[in-house]
Structure 1
Amino acid sequence: MTDTDSGLDDARLKDTYAEADLQKLGYKQEMTRTRGLFHMLFMTLAIMAVPYGLAAPIATSLIGGGPATMIWGWVLVSFLTFPLACSLGEICAKYPTSAGAYYWCFRLAPPKHRLLVSWINGWLTMVGVWTVSLSVTFGTAQLVVAGAGIYAPDLGLKPWHTYVIFLGVTAVTVFFCIFGNSILPTIDTISAYWTLLGVIVILIATSAKAASGRHSAAFALGHFDASPSGWTPGWGFFIGLLPPAYTFSAIGMIASMAEEVHDPSHDLPRAITWSIPIGFLTGVVFLVPLLFTLPDIATLLAVASGQPIGVMFELIMGSKGGGFGLWFIIFGIGMFCAISISCAASRATWAFARDSAIPFPSTFSRVNPHLGGGNGVPLNAILLSTSIQLLLGLIYLGSSAAFNAFVGVAVMCLGASYAMPVALSLYAGRQEVRDSPFSLGRRWGPVLNGLAVLWVVFEMVLFSMPAVVPVTTVSMNYASVVFVGFGTFSGVWYLVGGRHRYKGPPLPETDTEAESPREIEK
């Protein structure tokens, strides 16, 4: 028997175990399992897209203090996100289903409240995955505008031009999600190498050129000026944490891919937790050379488009060609991220429809077995998720400030959806997760869970605040308004139709269910 045959047999055995475990959770296998540990780790890193996540909203960090906020804010948020990643990994290992956090809430909440709690969590998840996907695809479109601005600073593109570019970016992501499902693991692997080589190229190129001057370590690691925000220095620092928080906001989205992973109880929690230290190191390598060669902050904040990344690279490299080359690295990372995050968002949409929590559930929970190289694709869920993003993107035509709120909404909704099952588990004394294959233990489990919940609560308050004061109609942060608006919609829908149709995820009959092959083997 060759190594290839042995590997295939091992994958098939894991698939058999995983399918049986999925049946014990109440679902039947509909998707094809094609992903292993490194596929999921690379997908998590692609969704995080560290250089893109830190670069796209970099203006917020510049407003909120500059270099000190950028580097130490990254360290702080990385440290605070790790307990959340560990907590999600522990629960995900116990309940590895594409239903994700709302299923976890249903199983962890008191029986009397589990239906409503899972409904609320499910809609928080939906709004979170739709808006974070929108923020990436639209943010990548804005990067295109920034790249064009390197060669044509007076181009004067209007909002509808940006929207058309957004349509193009979205079309590319949808194409890969529908027709390239079988090669998406390969694309995630390419993304990992692109990001690694990209940050190394940026490190070498910026350090070698430094056309706008070099700074001392005191400036690069310690200069702090939050006066552009109008806030007090301390609060200005926290306002500047949006880029790192945004970068880590979707770490739990790979849970939606659980039913396409060979060994989800083992692979998903490790991919989620390993991604934090790897992402942290990537961010340090990306940020440090930029901070030592950072152009004048006032010049960057004065860029008409509000997206200074193209001008920043041009000034550092001292030429349009050099600036465009570094910009292209970030643009590539953004495109990889858009594909991966749109894929995960479609799986979350499909899973929620499968449990009759979305209108026309039989339509949007259907899997097309002929697409994606024969692996099966939830085509209608992909089209629904994409259509909602296209409609939400139209808001940019009327108000760029209102659209920017969707970044904050994504952070708030995803954070809340992650914190709810962790808080429920903690409230119940962590009884349900003590036998998790990825247990945090009796000593560290409560500590990590508590830190995770506290960070998310603070995060939600923080990103409801405007980045700049005094507040105007342009600088107003509409995140809380949009958050409440979506919450009101889900509540009304529950009263009108949801409570009659939604019965929650299936509950297995644990007293009568058969043992899985994994348990029999043991």
Structure 2
Amino acid sequence: MAVESASDAQLLAAMGYKQELRRQYSTIHIFAITFSIMGLMPSIASALSFSLLVGPAGMVWGWVSATFFIFLVGLSMGDLASALPTAGGLYWWTHHFAAKRFKNPLSFLVGYSNTLGLIGGLCSLDYTLSLMILSCVSIHNDGEWTASRGVIYAVFAAILILHGVGAAFLGRLMPRILTVCLYLNIALVVATVVALPVGKRVVRHEPLNSAGYVFGHVENQTGWPVGWAFFLSWLAPIWSVASFDSCVHMSEEAMHAARAVPLGIVWTAGSAWVLGFLCVAVIAAVMDTNVDHTLSSVFGQPMAQIYYDALGKRGALGFMAAIIFVQFLMGLTVMVATSRQAWAFSRDGALPFSNFFRHISTRVKYQPVRVVMGLVVMGLIVGLLCLINNAAANALFSLFVASNYLSWGLPIFCRLVWGQHEFQPGEFYTGVWSRPIATVAVIYLAFGIVLSMFPTTGPNPSHPAEDMNYTVVINGIVWAGCLIYYALFARRWFTGPKVTATTSLNAEVSKNQTETTFDGEWA
């Protein structure tokens, strides 16, 4: 471990950074971070309303096709993560590979897009968790009670604050928490896959749906043509498997990061492809053949309705309680990963009050406590969208997807177009397939951004204010605001990643740096 830590520190120094965080995460821990954040069953449950846009067949084949392309993105990102493992990953890679005149603005855009996207992901996860908790109350009251938006926000705020406290003060316990979370996620998948069919056949004495229904029944729930509605069903796996870049943000705490980080990415994307298919196929086999019954559940949560139909009231409450606990741990790991991205961006002086937020607390075992508390405050503000309506709340999902996809796509694009000669493969490398995989990944990510901006109800929604997709508005404001802020102000002081160590891999960084400091002293 000592040898690996020294090697990791040397590689980090070669990229211009001094080791500041504690390296304590093994390869299995890094995989546990992204697998736990993905939280397969809770994520599938949260996004089920997107999955069923064209019925069970759309849910199953939409998952298989979308996660195939997501796996290719994971391979391409793994190439970069192995070559250049740093907590600032995405915006650092963009700066390293982009043409000289685009380095700073594109790096600035990717850093902000990634940070705000992760905040949106954290808020969307905690929002759906609050809905799950309240759906259990509804099940307990036999569907006769429905939470108001004020109650939903209050539960959301309490969850977010608990995640902030846990991320700030449980740093030394996080490897153990992640290991437990990994096993719980796998156990929840296995239990669901076994219990739902058994409950349907043995407890409820009802037959399973036929293979023809599971793999071939199409029921368009939108106003779009069925072909485009099928692509919209991709939004479920896109949201569910949209956090494997969290591995990248933990690079400076990983042991043997050049191997651990890419393996964590690829294992997560691969397991989502296979295990996710198994989960959605079983859900399609046990769900009510009337799709509207599931989507318009009186419990306010389609997955709660599926558990209820297959297992009864007690069984539904038991499984929903398990999902809630696992999703709570998911939120904790998302908070940890998001704090590392925000901390890295503050270290490079890009966020407001960067000198304050880049502080690492030695009192609580080398944790970025200040940035965690800042994320809680930011999350409470962004989460106010839940008070408006469902469309505004869904904007949290959209901010997460579109901003993340832009952040993933730009560094891969920069490597393909300008930086191939700068790319030196690390321990993980896809070889001759690297460029073709990266090309397909960029095309898919661009398509995913466009897809996330379409209203799911159809081209002529009956309630425009409620059914509108606010992605284009929110992300447009984020991206345009970021570039305007850079053009008017940040270009004067943001010169890319700052050097805090004496050796720099990127000559352009040291060339562009006019002044770099570390803890108030010359680096």
TM-score by length of 2: 0.92
1:183 has 2:173 as partner: yes
Amino acid at match of 2:376: T
CA distance in 1 between counterparts of 2:354 and 2:498 reads: 15
Deviations 1:387-408 (A, max 9, x none): 1111011121123211202202
Amino acid at match of 2:485: W
1:298 has 2:327 as partner: no
Partner of 2:305: 311
Matched-pair contact (CA < 8 Å) for 2:26–2:260? yes
Partner of 1:404: 394
Structure 2 residue aligned with 1:370, among 363, 366, 388?
363
Partner of 1:270: 263
Structure 2 residue aligned with 1:422, among 412, 433, 457?
412
Matched-pair contact (CA < 8 Å) for 1:25–1:506? no
1:504 has 2:496 as partner: yes
CA distance in 2 between counterparts of 1:241 and 1:505 reads: 35
Structure 2 residue aligned with 1:495, among 487, 492, 503?
487
What secondary structure does 2:421 align onto?
coil
Structure 1 residue aligned with 2:475, among 483, 486, 494?
483
Matched-pair contact (CA < 8 Å) for 1:150–1:311? no
Matched-pair contact (CA < 8 Å) for 1:178–1:377? yes
CA distance in 1 between counterparts of 2:409 and 2:494 reads: 23
What secondary structure does 1:78 align onto?
helix
1:447 has 2:455 as partner: no
Partner of 2:222: 229
Partner of 1:83: 72
1:337 has 2:342 as partner: no
Displacement of 1:511 after TM fit? 9.9
Partner of 2:385: 395
Aligned residue runs from structure 1 range 127-146, under 5 A: 127-146=116-135
CA distance in 1 between counterparts of 2:258 and 2:498 reads: 19
CA distance in 2 between counterparts of 1:22 and 1:177 reads: 24
Structure 2 residue aligned with 1:359, among 345, 349, 352?
352
1:240 has 2:230 as partner: no
Deviations 1:407-433 (A, max 9, x none): 022111111111111111111362222
Displacement of 1:306 after TM fit? 4.5
Change (3 A) 1:509 1:264: closer
Matched-pair contact (CA < 8 Å) for 1:44–1:271? yes
Deviations 1:134-180 (A, max 9, x none): 11111111111222221121212100101111122112211220111
Amino acid at match of 1:315: D
Aligned residue runs from structure 1 range 317-328, under 5 A: 317=311, 319-328=312-321
What secondary structure does 1:28 align onto?
coil
CA distance in 2 between counterparts of 1:305 and 1:396 reads: 18
Matched-pair contact (CA < 8 Å) for 2:48–2:236? yes
CA distance in 2 between counterparts of 1:420 and 1:141 reads: 33
Displacement of 1:206 after TM fit? 1.0
Structure 1 residue aligned with 2:184, among 171, 194, 204?
194
CA distance in 2 between counterparts of 1:219 and 1:93 reads: 43
What secondary structure does 1:455 align onto?
helix
Amino acid at match of 1:114: K
Change (3 A) 1:464 1:306: farther
Amino acid at match of 1:358: L
CA distance in 1 between counterparts of 2:485 and 2:352 reads: 9
CA distance in 1 between counterparts of 2:417 and 2:330 reads: 35
Displacement of 1:79 after TM fit? 0.8
Deviations 1:292-329 (A, max 9, x none): 11123111222356422212211111x21011112122
Matched-pair contact (CA < 8 Å) for 1:33–1:260? yes
Deviations 1:107-143 (A, max 9, x none): 0011222111101111111111110111111111111
CA distance in 1 between counterparts of 2:108 and 2:185 reads: 37
Please, what is the CA RMSD of the aligned residues?
1.7
1:215 has 2:204 as partner: no
CA distance in 1 between counterparts of 2:90 and 2:255 reads: 20
Deviates more, 1:420-429 or 1:158-167: 420-429
Partner of 1:6: none
CA distance in 2 between counterparts of 1:50 and 1:281 reads: 11
Partner of 1:105: 94
Displacement of 1:241 after TM fit? 1.3
Displacement of 1:510 after TM fit? 5.1
Q: Runs of 5+ in structure 1 lacking a partner?
A: 1-10, 514-522
Displacement of 1:60 after TM fit? 1.7
Partner of 1:168: 158
Change (3 A) 1:306 1:401: farther
CA distance in 2 between counterparts of 1:192 and 1:411 reads: 23
CA distance in 2 between counterparts of 1:281 and 1:36 reads: 24
Deviates more, 1:149-158 or 1:361-370: 149-158
Matched-pair contact (CA < 8 Å) for 1:409–1:480? no
Matched-pair contact (CA < 8 Å) for 1:137–1:338? yes
Partner of 2:137: 148
TM-score by length of 1: 0.92
Change (3 A) 1:509 1:289: closer
CA distance in 2 between counterparts of 1:253 and 1:289 reads: 29
Displacement of 1:280 after TM fit? 2.2
